[in-house]
Amino acid sequence: MKLLRHRRASEMTEAAITLPIVLIVFLAFVQFGIVVYGSQMAKEAARHGARVGSVAQTNPAGAAAAAAYSFAKSALPIGDPQVEILAPGGIVGTELRVRVTYRIPNLVGGLIPSGPYEVFGEATARQEGW
C-alpha cells in the first residue's frame, strides 16, 4: 500500500512538471499557425484587391483598397488590417500595386517573446481597359 502511494505521488509530480511545458509548446504552435495564416490571408487580400482594381473603370485605386480591406477584415478578424496602394493604376497598361499588412497580437502573452507580429502581402496587376 505504501508503494502505491509513492507511485501516485511521483506521477503527480511528473504531471505537474510536464503539463505546463506541453501547454506552452501547444500555445506556441497555435500562435505560429495564426501568424502563418495571417501571412497567407494578407497575400490573398492584396491579390483580390489588385484584381478588383485592375478591372475597375473608374477609381481603380479606391476599388482596390476597398476590396482588399473587406477581404482582409473578413479573412482574419483579429487585428486591424492596413491597406496601402503603392501604384495607383488608372491608365490602361499601368501597374496597380496593393499591400495589405496585419498586426497579429501575441495571444500567449509573455510566454513567447516578441509581438505583435507584423505580416504583409503584396500583389500587382495591370490596369485593364476596353
Residues in the chain: 130
Give pLDDT tens digits for 98-109. Answer: 999 999 888 877
To the nearest whole percent, how much of the chain has pLDDT over 70? 92
- Judge contact between 93 and 127, C-beta under 8 A: yes
Whether the pTM exceeds 0.85: the reply is: no
Residue given cell 503527480 in the structure block: 12
pLDDT tens for 21-53 read 898 889 888 888 999 999 999 999 999 999 999
Amino acid 4: pLDDT: 55
* DSSP single-letter state for residue 81: -
Q: What integer is the mean pLDDT of 63-78? A: 93
Domain count, the chain: 1
> Model confidence over 110-119: pLDDT tens digits?
766 777 889 9
Of 69, 53, 62, 65, whose CA–CA distance to 127 is shortest?
Answer: 53
Pairing of strands 95-104, 117-126: antiparallel
Dihedral over alpha carbons 56, 60, 63, 67 (to 10 degrees): 90
pLDDT at 106: 85
Model pLDDT, residue 55: 93
Structural domain for 47, as ranges: 2-126
Sheet containing strand 82-88, edge to edge, reads 82-88, 95-104, 117-126
